[in-house]
Amino acid sequence: MQTAQSMLQMCGLPRLEARMLLEYVLNKPREWLLAHDTEPLSPECAAQFLTLAAQRRQGIPMAHLMGWREFMGHRFAVTPAVLIPRPETELLVESVLDLLTNRNDPAVLDLGTGSGVVAISVALARPDVRVTATELSVEALTVAQRNAQSLGARVQWWQGSWFEALPPEGRFDVIVSNPPYIALGDAHLVQGDLRFEPVHALTDGADGLTALAQIVAGAGARLLSGGHLWLEHGYDQAETVTGMLKQAGFTFVHTRPDLAGVPRVTGGKWE
Ligand SMILES: C[S@@+](CC[C@H](N)C(=O)[O-])C[C@H]1O[C@@H](n2cnc3c(N)ncnc32)[C@H](O)[C@@H]1O
């Protein structure tokens, strides 16, 4: 007889991951599992759990096995077509929301929206904001649109490359992006979850700085006077991104660290 307790012990996964997969299979919250962990599992549930545990041991990301990831308190659908949302990207959303305090009828643009986490989180936190998002990948854009629909967020979507995706007249109070910033050949690309994520979401295929540079170069023409650009970047790219922003004419350029103390997002003001 298989019980939740015996499954958690014998599956060969870290306890937290095993528990999350079992909760997913049983479709029950943690409290239920704690109270019923010595009861027999149905053969179907046991088999499904063992299949998922085997896939996880092969490295398939938890977000792909479960089909979702939480971000800013919302549950976003995740498929192999999109970057798995990272907790550090919440700092980007918080930076945008801070800038929108006391602004009336503001417009925000999210470039390279992926699963839509940034655009949708802003739209849900501030339903008065006009949120626009662009994405090169048609498959990713479909995931983002589905997420917006299921979470009840209003976002205008455009498919295409960075600013080229937009109609010519659009101007914004805040532009935000978490672009692909890992250099081609970086060892992280062949480790952990990254092996299963779309390569175009992770790397620019060059030194990791070309997408950041393209966005900085194009932002001025799309920002309203007094508007801001905020970018997520790699742990060692803050100085370079700061230089790019200053050279392009941005003022009040500064970097914010993530919860681990890593310089993670840098932004500036367009006069
Ligand atoms: C690092 S992922 C970020 C996804 C999402 N914003 C997030 O934070 O989870 C970068 C995204 O940029 C998209 N992308 C790559 N090149 C692009 C381009 N030239 N124009 C628009 N989007 C692009 C990728 O498809 C991917 O979805």
CB atoms within 10 A of CB 28: 14
Atom 2 of ligand 1, nearest CA residue:
201
pLDDT digits (tens, 9 = 90+) for 8-32: 999 999 999 999 999 999 999 989 9
The DSSP secondary structure of 170-225, one letter per residue, reads --EEEEEE----BPTT-GGGGSGGGGGS-HHHHB-SSSS-HHHHHHHHHHGGGEEE
**What's the CA gap between 12 and 47, in Å, rounded?**
15
State the pLDDT confidence band at 181, using cuts at 50, 70 and 90.
Answer: very high
- Which of 78, 134, 135, 264 best tests ligand 1's pocket when mutated (most atoms within 8 Å of CB)? 135
Distance CA 143, CA 182 (A): 23
Q: Give the least confident one: 27-31, 96-100, 108-112.
A: 27-31
pTM to 2 decimals?
0.96
User: Distance between CA 141 and CA 164 in Å, rounded?
Assistant: 16
* Cα–Cα distance measured from residue 153 to residue 121, given in angstroms and rounded to the nearest whole number: 8
Which residue has tokens 């995931």? 143
Contacts of 216 (CB under 8 A, 6+ apart): 229, 231, 241, 244, 245, 248, 250
- CB distance 140 to ligand 1 below 6 Å: yes
Q: Is 159 in the pocket of ligand 1 (CB under 6 A)?
A: no
Q: Which of 37-41, 112-116, 139-143, 214-218 has the lowest mean pLDDT?
A: 37-41
Please provide the average confidence, as pLDDT, over all residues in the chain: 96
Pocket of ligand 1 contains residue 119 by CB under 6 Å:
no
The token duo for 198 is 């779309």
Beta strands in the chain (DSSP E): 68-71, 74-77, 107-111, 130-135, 155-159, 172-177, 223-232, 251-257, 263-270
Q: Whose CA is nearest to atom 22 of ligand 1?
A: 112
Q: How many CB atoms lie within 10 A of CB 224?
A: 13
111 Cα: distance to centroid of ligand 1 (angstroms): 7
Measuring CA to CA, how many Å separate 153 from each of 105, 119, 127? 16, 9, 8
pLDDT at 104: 87
Please give the residue that has the higher pLDDT: either 271 or 84.
84
pLDDT value at position 125? 97
Q: What is the pLDDT of residue 102?
A: 83
At 176, is the pLDDT very low, low, confident or very high (cuts 50, 70, 90)?
very high
Q: How confident is the model at residue 152 (pLDDT cuts 50, 70, 90)?
A: very high
Long-range contacts of 101-104 (CB under 8 A, 24+ apart): 103/173
What is the reported pLDDT for 165? 98
